[in-house]
A and B are shown apart, each in its own frame.
Chain A
């Protein structure tokens, strides 16, 4: 049900993990921020601990500065927001996305993984839509164990899509990332 879950009610603004310079959370070398808390609780979730909104550490200004410093390395392509559920931590998500745009403009990209589908997000709260508008690539949808496929690019199950967000918003329909391999 749209707007059933809201960041303002659920988020503790906690961070489960931060991984600088990794090779698996999207295209190129990336810095990944794992935001805590996810009520979807997909069976087979790879990050069960992060389903708790109180897991990990509070998001801090120091961490934010660290992320900005790490992103400023030439070899880093961009920031990745994962979880947990980033779209139920929009306080942190919007803040870091805006900071990235302010510091780097469009020279660094932002990817995010969400349990929400594109269509669900379209009907949801304004904070979710605002965060979506700051993102370049969305990998959408719940992880479905029976559709699990380890050979998929950047996804765990076949229902998930790698969506080009600006194109999709402009055309009002889902546009798949043009570099999709499989």
Chain B
């Protein structure tokens, strides 16, 4: 890359406005030309000559037209006898144009899909493409991506293709103006009834009917939006319907049971009803298929209720999860369970619901879920208590026109994620340049998000009747009314995502910066700057832009892969072949949970639109006290905490614990079994859990790679490494929810 002195000469061009091909006007950024020159011209003296020639070329100009810049640069290269560079630059430009036109060509994309082009298949490897409905989704997705790229503002589409930013869910949005994720207003729907298809559904009269309706609603909502959907406070939500069961049983008892035992009878029967209803919900959600050909990304929150019925519902949820799914008692992947911890309610042994917290700890040691919401911290960080929408995206505290706090029925409109490590790599250790590029990238993100809002507003209520007309989004619109009524005045959120704080700081402070006060201050400054942008955009528009620590399921891989192409294998940044998610601690290190959370807890106050912390543990089924020690400590430090522990099971030999990770996936350390039919491997790389061993396509690739391993040529080793990378991204996508 060019030296400081060299950049100064190009700095003379900063006075000139830059007119883009689409007519938009931006600033001149010398770092971009320096990057191009570093790629094209080996000798610094030659590069300096090009810079000077360029400055001379624009000496009398009043603007730089990008349309004109490329031929000018080629001419200069040729004049200086740098013909190889001139040709390479021309070829690169042609290749870029071809790439863009291929990406936006529907026929190409579909043909790639039908020929099972490796890239397209991998892009969707979270879905079992043997299934008809998934095939259809892949076909439609391929077309939607191509069309969507053409619909997006030109700069946004190109920034997405280049890997500067990521427009999430391109297989759906912007072609279909879907929202991303939401808290479904079950309460309003149950009270007022709703309509799905041709069926008018009345208010449920038992807890079994209520949970059956929940499953139907979730299935429908999941098909009408992209990301996760959540049920807030389900114990409190469902209690009134279980109370109807109780009254019915009590009425029966008056006929058939002696007076002294009537209440006990009704209570016992109601408890059984609650258990059955919650078990049915667990199975129904796990057997659903949304229009995306996936199990809906569903999150169930509970834990604040104190009545006997609410306590019973909480207990049932945990007992059912501990028991496991099916004959083999596999770990359920959905719904994601989130238990609320609250001081005075269930945190301490003297609290009335402490017994349920103990059960939650036992459940987490066996099934990883429930994750935890710390009541007081969530209120402090986000302005009100509520569960995240899907795996981590949080609404912000909000009151309606009557001053009433509203959470359920609100939603997130979408996410665009910025590739922060790329900004840092482009800055080459120069913080001033980092902030210059940061500003430029933020302008692109803003344009992308503003477009997403506008596009989402174009939906008609009748496009998604359950969401807009029958109460899932909390208000009931008439056909033709503007859906904006549900979004504006900061009722909805729209999110700026980010990834790679670890890598950003590594480029400036080296790989072990976690104890360096200057590095920590810089990390915090970056996240705060992102938040400040969101606040500015919100104030200017009336829509709530929130900062979202992106789940980064696929981005952790794809952004890094893009940057390996652009910058090569930079130690501890790109050479790891993944980027560290959001503000998370370097996963290669071994901090204690307390050290990890201490580092991370400084960020969610800025990234209050989406955050989660995890800690990694050995198998803790026999030491729940250790997990409780972390939970209790964390209560005053973080808002949202997940447990990652070794809960793999082998049904061949009975082993329970951590499967060994190998090139072909995961194997039982005791008997070597790796057949997904007879083992249960559960991992989390983001907010949701997944079964990385269970997907047929990946498993087939495992077998292929395994058979290759015996006589490895260098080419095969490269293939294996590439395969490892895809497998990682697949695993992450697999467990993805919310924005993809």
Residues of A within 8 A of B (CB): 20-21, 23-24, 26-30, 73-77, 150-151, 153-154, 181-182
Contact = CB atoms under 8 A, between A and B. Distances in A.
Contacts of A153: 622-623
Interface in B616-650: 617-618, 620-623, 625-626, 628-630, 632-633
Given A75-B630, A75-B632, A77-B629, A181 B622 contact: yes
B629 A29 contact: yes
Given A20-B592, A75-B594, A28 B625 contact: yes
B141 interface: no
A74 B657 contact: no
| Across the A-B interface, the 8 shortest Cβ-Cβ residue pairs | A153-B622, A28-B625, A21-B592, A75-B629, A75-B633, A23-B626, A29-B629, A27-B625
Contacts of A23: 617-618, 620, 623, 626
A131 B628 CA distance: 29
B727 interface: no
Nearest to A154: B622
B656 interface: yes
Contacts of B656: 151
A108 to B, nearest CB: 12
A71 to B, nearest CB: 13
Interface of B: 592-594, 617-618, 620-623, 625-626, 628-630, 632-633, 655-657, 670
5 contacts: A23-B618, A75-B594, A75-B629, A77-B625, A150-B670
A28 B625 CA distance: 4
A153 B365 CA distance: 14
A21 B620 contact: no
A104 to B, nearest CB: 16
Contacts of B629: 28-29, 75-77
B622 A29 contact: no
A182 B630 CA distance: 23
Nearest to A153: B622
B630 A29 contact: yes
B625 A150 contact: no
A24 B594 contact: no
Contact of B626 (A20, A28, A73): A28
A73 B630 CA distance: 12
Given A75-B629, A77-B626, 9 more contacts: A21-B593, A23-B618, A26-B623, A28-B623, A28-B628, A30-B626, A74-B632, A77-B625, A153-B622
A26 B622 CA distance: 9
A82 to B, nearest CB: 15
A24 B625 contact: no
Contacts of A20: 592
A41 B656 CA distance: 29
A27 B633 contact: no
A76 B626 CA distance: 9
Question: Of B592, B630, B670, which is in contact with the most chain A CB atoms at under 10 Å from its CB?
Answer: B592
A151 B632 CA distance: 27
Contacts of A26: 623
A20 B632 CA distance: 18
Nearest to B656: A151
Contacts of B618: 23-24
Contacts of B626: 23, 27-30, 77
A166 to B, nearest CB: 19
A105 to B, nearest CB: 19
B267 to A, nearest CB: 31
Contacts of B628: 28
Contacts of A151: 656
Contacts of A24: 618, 623
Nearest to B654: A151
B623 A150 contact: no
Contacts of A30: 626
Contacts of B670: 150
B374 to A, nearest CB: 15
Interface core residue of A24, A26, A75, A77 (most chain B CB under 10 Å): A75
Nearest to B620: A23
A72 to B, nearest CB: 13
A20 B593 CA distance: 12
